[in-house]
Amino acid sequence: MKIVADENIPFVEGAFSTLGEVTTLAGRALTAASVCDADVLLVRSVTRVGKQLLSGSKVKFVATATIGFDHIDTEYLKEADIGFASAPGCNSNSVAEYVLSALVVLAERKGFALPQKTVGIVGCGNVGSKVRAKLGALGIPCLVNDPPLKDQTGDPGFVELDEIFSADIITLHVPLEKSGKYPTFQMVNESFLGKMKGGAMLINSSRGKVVDERALLKTLQSGKVSAVLDVWQYEPNIDGRILERVELATPHIAGYSYDGKVRGTEMIYEAACKFFGVPPTWRLSDHLPAAPIKRLEFSDSVSEDDVIRASIFSSYDIREDDGKLRRILKMPESERGAYFDKLRKTYPIRREFPCTEIIISKRRQELAEKLRGIGFRVN
Decide: 375 and 353 in contact? Cβ < 8 Å: yes
- Cα separation, 377 vs 110, in Å, equals 29
Neighbours of 197 (CB within 10 A): 15
Check residue 285 and give its pLDDT: 78
- Cα separation, 263 vs 334, in Å, equals 35
- Cα separation, 187 vs 14, in Å, equals 41
| Per annotation, catalytic residue among 7, 190, 235, 357 | 235
| Per annotation, catalytic residue among 71, 132, 173, 252 | 252
Check residue 329 and give its pLDDT: 97
| Per annotation, catalytic residue among 44, 71, 173, 207 | 207
**CA gyration radius, the chain:** 21
Q: Would residue 71 show up in a list of annotated catalytic residues for this protein?
A: no
Q: What are phi and psi of 303, to 5 degrees?
A: -65, 160
Strands 169-172 and 119-122 turn out to be parallel
Check residue 107 and give its pLDDT: 97
Check residue 33 and give its pLDDT: 96
Strands 356-359 and 377-378 turn out to be parallel
Decide: 99 and 171 in contact? Cβ < 8 Å: yes
Check residue 361 and give its pLDDT: 94
Q: pLDDT tens per residue, the chain (379 residues)?
A: 999 999 999 999 999 999 999 999 999 999 999 999 999 999 999 999 999 999 999 999 999 999 889 899 999 999 999 999 999 999 999 999 999 999 999 999 999 999 999 999 999 999 999 999 999 999 999 999 999 999 999 999 999 999 999 999 999 999 999 989 999 999 999 999 999 999 999 999 999 999 999 999 999 999 999 999 999 999 999 999 999 999 999 999 999 999 999 999 999 999 999 999 999 999 887 777 677 788 999 999 999 999 999 999 999 999 999 999 999 999 999 999 999 999 999 999 999 999 999 999 999 999 999 999 999 999 8
> Cα 90 to the chain's mean position, in Å?
10
Domains defined for the chain, CATH in brackets: 2-88+257-286 (3.40.50.720), 92-249 (3.40.50.720), 294-378 (3.30.1370.170)
Q: Would residue 287 show up in a list of annotated catalytic residues for this protein?
A: no
- Cα separation, 244 vs 247, in Å, equals 9
- Choose among 159, 165, 162, 102: nearest CA to 135: 102
Check residue 292 and give its pLDDT: 73
Check residue 284 and give its pLDDT: 81
- Cα separation, 28 vs 321, in Å, equals 22
Q: How many residues does the chain have?
A: 379
Check residue 210 and give its pLDDT: 98
Q: Would residue 207 show up in a list of annotated catalytic residues for this protein?
A: yes
Check residue 286 and give its pLDDT: 79
3-state secondary structure 169-201: EEEECCCCCCCCCCCCCCCECHHHHHHCCCCCE
